[in-house]
């Protein structure tokens, strides 16, 4: 089954330093292509649609790129304020509908099968409010710090920020009912996950492959090595 997808590409343009002086992070290149191109490929491989992309810093540059390379994508410019991850989803419901949707972080690349297709195949709305794609800490290329979650045998998640915690790879399938019910415009996804966790309805799925964090400059070379596109020689 196909679900809509929001690619989360809004940020302040600070973590990548000089690389984002003249472009948003989503247009920083990894293996010869901008991050947003990798994200769109993952979305389309997963059969998702319609697609929306949000933006804040240098949003016009991303809008112009999408006009050429993704004219079917809904562009959501968060201005004057950035809405945070939960608020971004709430804002996107006006174009993506009120049913389950994928969200995908733009500052990452993967190997192995497209993560969204696996999430759709494993989705069980009777017992899940969200299903998050995870990798073991050892498969999190370029990760700075520990893990995010512990996963029980039935797939339910609890927080685990230690070295043995599984890492969230920025891809999920989520029922947005709790998000739509929030009265505020700006709030983090973490608050929604905590509500679901307390209700026993936050679940995880291990991604069959590796994931590279490209949210910081050092992650680019590591991601390219993972993809077999090492340019250091």
pLDDT tens, position by position, 130-165: 999 999 999 999 898 899 999 999 999 999 999 999
In angstroms, the CA 50 to CA 119 distance is: 17
pLDDT of residue 230: 56
pLDDT of residue 197: 98
In angstroms, the CA 110 to CA 212 distance is: 6
Q: Which two tokens stand for residue 146?
A: 């520990």
pLDDT of residue 232: 46
Give percent of the chain with pLDDT exceeding 70: 98
**Cis peptide before 217, with omega less than 30 degrees from 0?**
no
Sheet strand arrangement including 108-110: 108-110, 211-213, 140-141
pLDDT of residue 113: 84
pLDDT of residue 233: 35
Question: Taking residues 196-206, what's their average pLDDT?
Answer: 98
Q: Are strands 149-151 and 211-213 parallel, antiparallel or unpaired?
A: unpaired
pTM for this prediction: 0.95
Question: Taking residues 160-174, what's their average pLDDT?
Answer: 96
pLDDT of residue 149: 98
Residue 181 neighbours by CB distance under 10 Å: 9
Give percent of the chain with pLDDT exceeding 90: 85
The yes-or-no verdict on residue 66 having pLDDT over 80 is yes
pLDDT of residue 185: 97
Question: What average pLDDT is seen over the chain?
Answer: 94
CB 127 within 8 A of CB 204: no
Question: Taking residues 203-224, what's their average pLDDT?
Answer: 93
Range with the poorest average pLDDT among 25-29, 42-46, 65-69, 87-91: 42-46
With the CA atoms of 40, 12, 99 and 165 taken in that order, what torsion angle do they form, in degrees rounded to the nearest 10? 90
Question: Taking residues 87-112, what's their average pLDDT?
Answer: 96
In angstroms, the CA 47 to CA 38 distance is: 15
The yes-or-no verdict on residue 187 having pLDDT over 80 is yes
């Amino acid at each position: 089954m196909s679900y809509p997808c929001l690619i989360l590409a809004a940020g302040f343009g600070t973590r990548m330093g000089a690389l984002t002086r003249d472009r948003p992070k989503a247009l920083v290149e990894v293996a010869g292509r901008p991050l947003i191109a990798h994200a769109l490929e993952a979305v389309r491989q997963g059969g998702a649609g319609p697609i929306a992309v949000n933006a804040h810093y240098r949003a016009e540059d991303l809008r112009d790129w999408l006009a050429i390379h993704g004219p079917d994508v809904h562009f959501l410019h968060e201005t004057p304020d950035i809405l945070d991850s939960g608020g971004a989803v709430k804002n996107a419901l006006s174009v993506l509908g009120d049913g389950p949707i994928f969200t995908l972080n733009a500052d990452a690349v993967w190997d192995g099968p497209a993560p969204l297709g696996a999430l759709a195949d494993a989705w069980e709305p009777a017992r899940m409010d969200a299903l998050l794609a995870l990798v073991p800490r050892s498969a999190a290329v370029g990760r700075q710090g520990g893990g995010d979650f512990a996963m029980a045998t039935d797939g339910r998640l609890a927080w685990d920020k230690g070295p043995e915690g599984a890492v969230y790879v920025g891809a999920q399938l989520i029922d947005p009912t709790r998000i739509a019910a929030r009265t505020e415009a700006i709030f983090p996804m973490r608050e929604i996950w905590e509500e679901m966790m307390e209700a026993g309805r936050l679940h995880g799925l291990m991604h069959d492959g590796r994931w590279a964090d490209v949210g910081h400059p050092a992650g680019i070379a590591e991601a390219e090595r993972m993809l077999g596109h090492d340019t250091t020689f």
